[in-house]
Amino acid sequence: MTMVLPLKKQNASDEFTLEEMRSMFLQYTQKLFNELKLYIENQIDNSKKIKWLLNEVPCIQKEVVETVLSMSKGMFLAAHLHMDTIHNCISKADVLDTLKKLPPKLNEMYDAAIQVSEVASSVVLNQEPVAVVDKSTQVEELCSEMIHPSGKCLF
């Protein structure tokens, strides 16, 4: 979405008043955040994994949208990087934990994305992972909590 804020009125030599400029800026900002929110919602709807993680828990989906929207500060790239981070989550609890730890600065987002990329490429190349957060224990704990003694999955 590209929106240009005019500095002069079209049919007059008068410049916009401060109130007119403020109003245009607020309209632009609202449109930007609406587009960004739509992008985040589409990312959730188009990802089978994220949909599965957030299945039947609208409050978590709403929290994902609101958190990513506020943490991305109007930047689509930031929202994209945050959604990539959420896509790497392995459980609802992991999603909630990740939302609390989303990096607020763009350079921190890049660092996190590069670290994930390095780990993924080292695993693909059958090398020792460069930096791995040991989630195997967390997965085992979550799985044991989600399986009823009868053998039914509670997830």
Count of other CB atoms within 10 angstroms of residue 109: 22
Single pTM value for the model:
0.61
Q: Which of 148, 145, 115, 121 is nearest to 133 (CA)?
A: 115
pLDDT at 38: 95
- Dist. CA 74–CA 101, nearest whole Å: 18
Residue 117 CA to residue 17 CA, distance in Å, equals 48
Q: How far apart are CA 111 and CA 105, in angstroms?
A: 10
Each residue's pLDDT tens digit, 80-119: 989 988 888 888 888 899 899 888 777 777 777 777 666 6
Torsion angle of the four alpha carbons 48, 90, 110, 70, in this order, in degrees rounded to the nearest 10: 70
